[in-house]
Amino acid sequence: MTVESWHNAALALRLLAVDPAGLGGAVIRMRASPDRDALLATFRPALPVRKLPITISDEQLFGGIDLSATLASSQVIENKSYFQETCIAQVPMAERCPPALAAKLSQLADQSLTQGFLLIDEGIEPDERTPDTLADRCAFHLAPEGRKPPVPAGTPPSVPAGTEVSTADAVVQLTLLAARFGITSLRAPTLALRTARAHAEIMNRAHLTDTDLEVAASLVYPHRATVVPEDDTPDDPPPPPPAEQDDCPRGDSDENDALPDGDILIDAVKSLLPKNLLDGLVPAGTTRTSQGSGAGQKRTSNRRGRPLPSRPGRLDGASRIDLIATLRAAAPWQPLRRQQQPDRAGLLITPADIRLKRYAEHSDRLLVFCVDASGSAAVSRLGEAKGAIELLLAEAYASRDHVTLISFRGTEAETLLPPTRSLVQTKRRLSALPGGGGTPLAAGLQTAMLTALQNRSKGLTPTVVMITDGRANIALDGTANRAQAGADATQVATALRGQGVAALVIDMSNRPQPALQALATTLDAPYIALPRADAHKLTGAVTAALDG
């Protein structure tokens, strides 16, 4: 499978070089490595390949009037648009492409103003991927497995030409095949037809064959499939009567016979379907049963954990009995019980002998970042606070922890990002975090507490990371009352500590604030002053808070 995936990737890039504008492009999901460089080196189109950064501005993308040059020369001088010079756009880190840029590039592609894309996707998590609007316009999705195999010596084996297929029959076959795999977009069979034509061209054929259709289907359809078709044809279908064979001319078959004999195209696509194709179709928080019927409920804990010594207990239908420990507890009492009940045979076990299995259950951890985005914080050290959060994010990402982001400013707190493991999404929301307004510290603590308790009921272990300058001036009722705001913050902090939620307080003010030190004491949490905090101290503090 590894060799086949690399062969398909090289073939797809070769086809893309033939018709980059018609095929739209390719998504290459690989981390930076010599193997990826070697794969990209095989792409030799006639057009130049230019990098398109995801930070490109509208003036650079669409062009427009160069105001400074126009004013200096008293003549209208326009900037060139990115696609004014014909090229293939290579987009690095396509998984971080903003939705607005993806929509603009898709619009340019629909207007035939582009000549194809190479979207380099370096995402790790399933939700870190190229925007669907761009990926759907690219014919190929390449994710070679393992290391690149060495190029075999000698002449590559020849591919049989196959049976000639008319364009009309090819359209019908590819469209029906897309429907069988749950592909609803009409763009897919169109790209598959162009792929088949490109394959026929590199094979020096002027007409399409069933081999071209098979190659096109195996390259375009697997990553778009949403269902796996069942084999509904009998094993040994009876042959038609000789009279029907003679009277039925070739090419007049009905819709059921539109696919080749033996469903060759379906088998070709099935063999390349992703292993986790159906995982993304399961609703969040459920598990698919082995029979495929229904879904399981959420578990209280994420992992069963290591075994602990068994304990006495009653069978309630949910706990598991420790048979060995139960027999060991009942064995010393057998002679005495035999004297009391001589009529009973076998082991005599009473409810007091029952021992139940126990496990040390370890749930996933959740970092609840509660960030002060008020005006006072923005004036002081909001930028450095974002840098501190990124240090903590790196620690959380290495530990595979969940992260949620809450900001408070004005008169209320807002959840910017629900619990996720996506480092890319968290950094994106954090970089766009504005500053200004009052400091509703109590509202931020209250939202963080509710978020922590809600996710703890789902099996996560939350830790609240409070990052603020401590200048609370907005009370819980939304009024501007500094004294009441401080009292509300202390009250909520006391409730948070009473719930047993771990916390960490980072002082982002220019000078350490005694009020924040008192808040950390109320929370029973470590206190760190940001001006004297380095990466080692920050990561050590969050690790201690998580493990505590």
Spell out the SS3 assignment of 462-531.
EEEEEEECCCCCCCCCCCCCHHHHHHHHHHHHHHHHHCCCEEEEEECCCCCCHHHHHHHHHHCCCEEEHH
Residue 372: helix, strand or coil by DSSP?
Answer: strand
DSSP 151: P
**Closest to 433 measured CA to CA, from 474, 465, 385:** 385
Tokens describing residue 205:
């054929």
Beta bridge partners of 502: 463
Q: Kindly tell me the sign of the dihedral angle through the C-alpha atoms of 473, 478, 483, 485.
A: negative
Helix 167-180 vs helix 210-220: crossing angle, to nearest 10:
30
Q: Do residues 218 and 8 lie in contact, with contact meaning Cβ atoms separated by under 8 Å? A: yes
Q: Are strands 306-312 and 355-360 parallel, antiparallel or unpaired?
A: antiparallel
Q: Do residues 329 and 379 lie in contact, with contact meaning Cβ atoms separated by under 8 Å? A: no
Give the model's pLDDT for residue 71. Answer: 60
The H or E element spanning position 72 is: helix 67-73
Beta bridge partners of 140: 26
Q: Do residues 530 and 381 lie in contact, with contact meaning Cβ atoms separated by under 8 Å? A: yes
Tokens describing residue 330:
């009942």
Residue 309: helix, strand or coil by DSSP?
Answer: strand
Beta bridge partners of 369: 405, 465
Q: Kindly tell me the sign of the dihedral angle through the C-alpha atoms of 28, 33, 39, 44.
A: positive
Query: Alpha-carbon distance 468 to 481, whole Å?
Result: 18
**Region at 317 (left for phi over 0; alpha for psi -120 to 50; beta for the rest):** left
Give the model's pLDDT for residue 269. Answer: 63
pLDDT means per 10 residues in the chain (548 residues)?
A: 82 94 94 89 92 88 75 74 92 90 92 93 82 92 81 52 84 90 89 94 91 91 82 50 46 43 57 52 37 33 61 74 88 89 84 82 76 70 64 69 85 85 75 78 93 85 85 88 91 92 83 86 85 58 58
Q: Do residues 367 and 396 lie in contact, with contact meaning Cβ atoms separated by under 8 Å? A: yes
Q: Do residues 467 and 381 lie in contact, with contact meaning Cβ atoms separated by under 8 Å? A: no
Cβ neighbourhood burial of 266 (10 Å; 0-12, 13-18, 19+): buried
Tokens describing residue 7:
């062969």
Q: Do residues 445 and 525 lie in contact, with contact meaning Cβ atoms separated by under 8 Å? A: no
Cβ neighbourhood burial of 126 (10 Å; 0-12, 13-18, 19+): exposed
Integer CA distances (angstroms), 120 to 27, 36, 90, 101, in order: 6, 10, 7, 15
Cβ neighbourhood burial of 41 (10 Å; 0-12, 13-18, 19+): exposed
Give the contacts of 413 (CB within 8 A, at least 6 positions apart): 370, 406, 407, 440, 443, 444, 446, 447, 448
Query: Alpha-carbon distance 186 to 439, whole Å?
Result: 52
Tokens describing residue 546:
């998580």
